[in-house]
Amino acid sequence: MAADQDRAELLKQFQGLRVTDVCDGMDGVGLQDVGLMDRSIGPLWRDIDGFAHRIYGIAHTVRFVPTGRRAPVFESVEQHLAWKNQWYSELARGPMPDQIRAGDVIVIDGAGVIVVPRDKAMQVAAIAREVQEDDKAGRRKLYEKLGFPTDFTVDPT
């Protein structure tokens, strides 16, 4: 039960944050250029009115889905092991990088996907929240200066 509460509290810290904010938070803890996933990975839809396409979650291990390609016939165990190592490192890797571990936080929105190491997640979330609030305040001033009505994208959290 405590683990579930810890996970819920951790995810609460990331609620509402954008991938760009989390990326800045990663920079703030010394993890520059770490955690960003391939740009082709993202939400299947975009909700430009309410941003419901933002997704926050905890990574867990998954079963590797076979490619449907057949393995060759091997003459030895060594030959099989050499092929297997090549298969999973080069031929059937898929889009998931090696650095995702169970317990890491994953944030997805229209800007992309970022993976935050579990041991840095609270620090990253705190910095990202500060970055987001500064950004909202700056944009809110521009809205007011231009006479635009404010909306949830510029309201303080």
Per residue in 2-33, pLDDT tens?
577 788 899 999 998 999 999 999 999 999 98
Q: What is the identity of the amino acid at 98? A: D
pLDDT digit string, tens, across residues 76-109? 999 988 888 777 666 665 555 556 777 899 998 8
SS3 category, 94: coil
pLDDT of 1: 45
Q: Domain locations in the chain?
A: 16-146
pLDDT digit string, tens, across residues 36-77? 887 777 777 777 777 777 788 888 765 555 666 777 888 999
